[in-house]
Amino acid sequence: MAIISTAGLARTFRSKAGPVEAVRGIDLTVRAGEILGFLGPNGAGKTTTLRMLTTLLPPTGGAATVAGHDLLRDPAGVRRACGYVAQSGGVDPNISVREELVTQGRLYRLTKPQAALRARELTNDLGLHGLLDRKTSTLSGGQRRRLDIAMGLMHRPEVLFLDEPTTGLDPGSRADLWDLVRRIRADHGTTVFLTTHYLDEADALADRLVIVDKGVIVADGTPADLKSRYAGGPDAPLQDAFLAITGRSAAPQDSAPVAV
């Protein structure tokens, strides 16, 4: 069953130099319970696509549904169905883990007791046990990233969008986050939509990879399929397949002009 479906999804920005087509028509289906790796070089349109699918940016063309909710006609339904973890995070350094999570739960209309219970559940599940009363500013990088993910899961979303979730983490913390993403899907059936510029991460985590370049999809398949098609075999480095598909290396972050 498709939990995300897009048809001709597009976004054009206006600039002094004229219109810029950041996303030029994305046709995509994501199955329920899938971990999808959404990859592309810098400026390919991947973060713009993610921002449209999470209602942070209105499309200028095409259509999409997330968990059965139409992106344009029912944006509130889309927001209820999805959790979003931005690359930069969003925790307040001046409050405790408990306060941060309970506030997030209240924003999703949980009662205060429901939000407090959910905060305890998530800190136990995500390796933050015993940290509820710590200020978020005292957490390590890996702990803060787990807290970001806990905030995205407070309302039990059907789809979790992760934008560069391990940027800046040490190798041990990255491996811990990989295990956490796998467990979120295995334990709860959550669909995970992942953007990353770490190709080893995409290779290790994703059931399927979609590669975009210049605002359109240029390749779609399992990691093994893409490596076999473009790099000579399923055991080849994903980097080789990515370079063959795009002619460019992966980049730390997507960029797009500011809408005016």
CA separation for the pair 24, 9 (Å, rounded): 7
Residue 111 lies in a domain: no
- E-strand ranges in 109-235 read 159-163, 191-195, 208-213, 216-221
pTM of the model: 0.90
CA separation for the pair 145, 94 (Å, rounded): 16
Residue 143 lies in a domain: no
Angle between helices 97-107 and 141-153 (to 10 degrees): 20
Residue 253 lies in a domain: no
Q: How many domains does the chain have?
A: 1
CATH number for 41: 3.40.50.300
- Burial group, residue 96, by CB count within 10 angstroms (0-12, 13-18, 19+): middle
CA separation for the pair 78, 112 (Å, rounded): 23
> What are the pLDDT tens digits along the chain (260 aa)?
899 999 999 999 998 999 999 999 999 999 999 999 999 998 899 989 999 999 999 999 999 999 999 999 999 999 999 999 988 777 888 999 999 999 999 999 999 999 999 999 999 988 888 999 999 999 998 899 899 999 999 999 999 999 999 988 888 888 888 999 999 999 999 999 999 989 999 999 999 999 999 999 999 999 999 999 999 999 999 999 999 999 876 654 444 443 32
Residue 99 lies in a domain: no
